[in-house]
Amino acid sequence: MKRYTIIWDFDGTLFPREPYDSEQSLLIHRLIQSKDSISLFKRVLIRAIIYADMKERLRKTFKKLYIWFLKGTKTETLDLIAGLLAKKISEADRQTLLRLKEDGHNMMVISCGTADLSERILKVAGLDNCFSIIEGNRFQINNDQITGMDFHIPNPEDKLKLITSQGICPEESIVIGDGYTDFPLLDWAGIPVLIDRTGEKKDRYAKKNYHYISSIPEIVEMIEKDFV
């Protein structure tokens, strides 16, 4: 079997949105955790930005508000939410990722999301060792509290810059993503795969020359069939 470099997105790809991604879930958890100390205005604002982010309307503005709200959050909250969110990665998905690792594929996670969450969730799920790189934006932490964020991959184009800086060959690469933040990498990859759990994206992006899967385990069959 041919070995590939498999580059995964995190939110919406490895981690299913049901209905929230990991960052939105962290905000909701923080709202519930601190409901007695947060003003009504702030609660309404955070709910509004979560909804807007779900609709892909805020993009860069979301991260600024996300950090503004999370400043002062203890790092133990990240561990707690990771433990809860790891349960959303199904056993079938976990076994698929472990098998791909055993088959000798070099797997990476490159995300515009929060790497501190991705790493913790994958570790709790027993999957962190499947990936040679888990990269994204990272919290600045002081005295076990979030103080800001280092934006290593703020934009979709930054994913591509990171991968090309590693000297990875596109013809030997599979990129698996779920949406607009993945398009630069998908368009670069020799084998671009869009995960479409609802069946809505195939028609929306019909003009793009992507492969489509509805679940993570399908990728094994596609590799075995050499993407025919």
Each residue's pLDDT tens digit, 111-122: 999 999 999 999
137 sits in the region (left: phi over 0; alpha: psi -120 to 50; else beta) called beta
Q: Which CATH number describes the domain made up of 5-16+90-224?
A: 3.40.50.1000
pLDDT band, residue 199 (cuts 50/70/90): confident
* Backbone φ and ψ of 150, nearest 5°: -95, 120
Average pLDDT of span 95-104 = 97
The token duo for 87 is: 């349960």
Least confident of 24-28, 72-76, 179-183, 199-203: 199-203
Q: For residue 60, what pLDDT is reported?
A: 76
* Rounded distance between C-alpha atoms, residue 88 and residue 78, angstroms: 16
Structural contact between residues 26 and 67, judged by C-beta atoms closer than 8 angstroms: no
Q: Which amino acid would we find at residue 191?
A: I
Mean pLDDT, residues 60-87:
94
pLDDT band of residue 228 (cuts 50, 70, 90) is low
Q: Domain coordinates of the chain in residue numbers?
A: 5-16+90-224, 22-84
